[in-house]
Chains A and B, each alone.
Chain A
């Protein structure tokens, strides 16, 4: 029985992979994810300035600014994997071929995670390369207290690997929401709202405690804590703990999406 379901899952993953692979739109989106993340990171690295030592900047975080833009493309990929099937009616064929709906969702999650992980790795590494090349020319020099960006540095490696995981988790969060609401447009609206409204709200809130709590529970502010390499003491939430909060959000929406998918008529 277990063997059966494992085979079934493998076949479902293969089917999902074929669907994703043969839709050129997805290839463009993933390319866009790399291009947008790296170019924003590069642009920020090119314009940031550190005129003197102790300028209070976090070069790794600056270089990885593009992730806050690239995450939306990861979310589109995930939303379309579900939303597009509902839009075209393909979902009926999919569910006829693989009647176990949680298996369908698991297969979709596997394929989305894999592709976003691959594209995210390229995007983040390209950003770091851009930062490594551009930042020293703008005053981020050893004389001002900044070594060149390097993956052998512990906090930098954490920020880099954490950013890739962040992108995957955002895609999974979006997948869960898309499965729950079915419509691609509404799903995207909900995902963008979840990501951006928390940090916008904490900009208005004057109470420092409440602001801290918002930064601890919001999927974007908590998840992006992993990018920080300086002044860790002042972070509202620890780097890995923050990523854990995002993982909980993703797990929560996948659970809701899976449940809704299972008990609702297609």
Chain B
């Protein structure tokens, strides 16, 4: 009961100081304005790709995907199977313009594929031979299982098999074509009776990790197959030589590109087929291959402006009491000092959380609309991830506001308290993402300082089976979203405890 009265008194104080209320609204406004400035530019390098498609293909789980590869395919109706041997995976890398050298990227892939349709982002299951990770079974972009290790050769080919039964697809591999190992089985919900099945090849571009942001260069791969064995009911009978070849997606997508004078193709060889392609069948990740595209966290850049304004307000919420001598009256009315701090914290946390959520909820749709108008791609993420970023922004501002309040009570000097908060949250982030510091230093900064909390806004996903530069300068925090937030939370609790102890021990 007494606690509620203290809370009400603190809320009245906050509500009746015009500057603070203006500050809360100003923080929201500053956040949105900041976004508008940040997204002011139009896409200068807008090529055909970005002009036409202002959204990336979306996979079955709602994530942005690349679904671009060369596919030699045929329609299969009902249950059936496909079996083939892969005798080689070769490729061409174009590290410098006009000069190519033989080689494959680690996740260049060739093999067999069962796909719902030729539309990008439709469901699939595949068995494949990769450049550096052996045989893999992958399905619906985000799932990856290991199979036989090593690379195939003419003398020791890798045998791959996919069996479709209803909506279930099962993958097998074999080193000799006689003894088979099941690598996994996946249910593709709602798979139609007629699916597209065949041989495919894809190769993501080569990623250079040197430099702060890295870069990519074109890479093309060629898979060499033996004879194809089929089971089931096929549209043109079991005659693979009459299958059709197509570049799914029309081009190599955002993460791949064809080297000069190369294109997707297939050919009959003496013993089977060869299929050449570039692109990737994988979720989109950040880093050099994403190119000029906006992410949800880009739209949340205004958080920094809001953070600085809210820090000023939260610090003043306690230091103003000291300056005006009001603290004497406050403590006379409510002698419980811990309760007083808790009440003040409850007020600033509520205000900051509201500002964060409202600003984020406005910024994301607004940013998406701005990106659409200026012909930029937007990195699509599942709704749940977007919701986490919105709530996370509110929680992030709430924690920094509580931290500011606590430091204001500890230091009692507003300028110093504000600086400590901003310098420990914004500056480490800025130094880490700007690429000035080496990646290892940047990652430690984002593990130890309160800036780790910004991880809660990261929507870029990380996949073991997609290669990119997973560093802070390309948008990747070293900790998980909630792990990073826990670091910020830990600092906040520490500051609040210190403030409570000092407030109890000190004279007014």
Binding site for B on A (CB under 8 A): 25, 29, 44, 47-49, 56-57, 61-62, 65, 68-69, 72-73, 75-76, 79-80, 83, 87, 184-189, 192-193, 196-197, 199-201, 203-210
Contacts and interface: CB of A to CB of B under 8 A. Distances in A.
22 contacts: A29-B416, A44-B437, A47-B441, A48-B438, A56-B210, A68-B431, A72-B422, A72-B423, A80-B415, A184-B415, A185-B319, A188-B418, A192-B418, A197-B304, A200-B430, A201-B34, A201-B38, A204-B39, A204-B298, A206-B43, A207-B42, A209-B41
A188 B312 contact: yes
A250 B376 CA distance: 37
B309 A189 contact: yes
Given A57-B438, A196-B304, A196-B426, A189 B312 contact: yes
Interface string B295-336: 000100100110011011001100100010000000000000
Contacts of A204: 38-39, 298, 301
A201 to B, nearest CB: 5
A191 B319 CA distance: 19
Contacts of A203: 301, 430, 433-434
B116 interface: no
Given A76-B416, A192-B422, A207-B41, A201 B440 contact: no
Nearest to A210: B41
A87 B316 CA distance: 12
A206 B379 CA distance: 14
B130 to A, nearest CB: 28
A193 B44 CA distance: 29
A69 B427 contact: yes
Top 6 closest A-B pairs, CB basis? A207-B41, A185-B414, A189-B312, A204-B38, A184-B415, A188-B415
A203 B426 CA distance: 13
B134 interface: no
A87 B473 CA distance: 41
Given A206-B41, A206-B376, A69 B308 contact: no
A189 B441 contact: no
Contact of B419 (A65, A192, A205): A192
B444 interface: yes
B40 interface: yes
B494 to A, nearest CB: 20
Interface of B: 34, 37-44, 210-211, 292-294, 298, 301, 304-305, 308-309, 311-312, 315-316, 319, 323, 376, 413-416, 418-419, 422-423, 426-427, 430-431, 433-434, 436-438, 440-441, 444
Contacts of A185: 312, 315-316, 319, 414-415, 418
Consensus secondary structure, chain A interface: helix
A204 B31 CA distance: 14
B interface SS class: helix
A95 B430 CA distance: 40
B415 A187 contact: yes
Given A80-B415, A189-B418, 6 more contacts: A56-B211, A65-B431, A87-B323, A205-B41, A206-B292, A210-B41
A197 B308 CA distance: 10
B415 A69 contact: no
Contacts of B293: 206
Q: Of residues B298, B301, B419, which shows the largest number of chain A Cβ atoms within 10 Å of its Cβ? A: B419
- Which of A49, A62, A69, A201 is packed against the most chain B CB atoms within 10 Å? A201
A49 B43 contact: no
A218 to B, nearest CB: 12
Contacts of A192: 308, 418-419, 422-423, 426
A185 B37 CA distance: 26
Contacts of B305: 193, 197
A91 to B, nearest CB: 14
A65 to B, nearest CB: 7
Contacts of A199: 430, 434
Contacts of A80: 413, 415
A201 B41 contact: no
A48 B34 CA distance: 33
A180 to B, nearest CB: 15
Contacts of A61: 436
B41 A48 contact: no
Nearest to B371: A206
A65 B39 CA distance: 29
A45 B305 CA distance: 31
Contacts of B34: 197, 201
Contacts of A209: 41, 44
A200 B315 CA distance: 23
